[in-house]
Structure 1
């Protein structure tokens, strides 16, 4: 894998999951800029701040499907409405979930979400999405 600098946003309401995923990302990708948010609303606020500052948008957003305040699907819906196609065109949004319910995947696909990973995140899964 090329040692490109990836800019990643990790959105999850579980602090332990965020901590573990930060360690995993650092293990797989040592050249990374990592942002975190505890829910979809906070993630949108962070992205708006980055946009206002003219800072590069994340290459990858790893977002938990089930969260309080704003879940992953609601986040994605707002994300596509708030930001311009130019801002989001180079960002891969990956839904992280423990759900195996077909209805969750159907709802996410209906919204336009193309990438899904079952939790827990692993080095193999992470390497696949960093390509």
Structure 2
């Protein structure tokens, strides 16, 4: 049986969200994808899940440059939530700045940095890592 994966995408670009959704559909995995267009909406969403004692997503893909609360600010807010749930988080960015890649490594919650565009093979690798 194919495991169901809960995916949260935090990205302010509707085109990127659309592309990720299409890639998800091609992975063969059963995925419940939720997209939030900035870090604050994502924090609100996770806070709501926490208050209802529901599980957090298995995987979160976080864009860096967004309005309201950017990717780094989202991570700061997330670490203050004391969620205690294991989530695979990856920065997903078009940034080619080495300092962004290095900064991602300073967060214990972030497992890696993925440069856009996200490939189907890379997403399958992430899903495989969760389901095993």
- TM-score, normalised by the number of residues in structure 1: 0.89
CA distance in 2, matches of 1:124, 1:30: 12
Q: For residue 117 of structure 1, what is the aligned residue in structure 2?
A: 114
Give the corresponding residue for 2:11.
12
4+ residue runs of structure 1 moved beyond 2 angstroms?
A: 111-114
SS where residue 114 of structure 1 aligns? Answer: strand
Structure 1 residue ranges without an equivalent (≥5): none
Indicate the structure with greater helix content: 1
TM-score by length of 2: 0.89
1:1-131 superposed matches below 5 A:
3-85=2-84, 87=85, 90-112=86-108, 113-131=110-128
Alignment length (residue pairs): 127
CA distance in 2, matches of 1:19, 1:9: 13
Report deviation, 1:54.
2.0
Per-residue displacement from partner, 1:30-62 (whole Å, max 9, x unpaired)?
411111100111000011111112222100001
1:17, CA displacement in angstroms?
Answer: 0.8
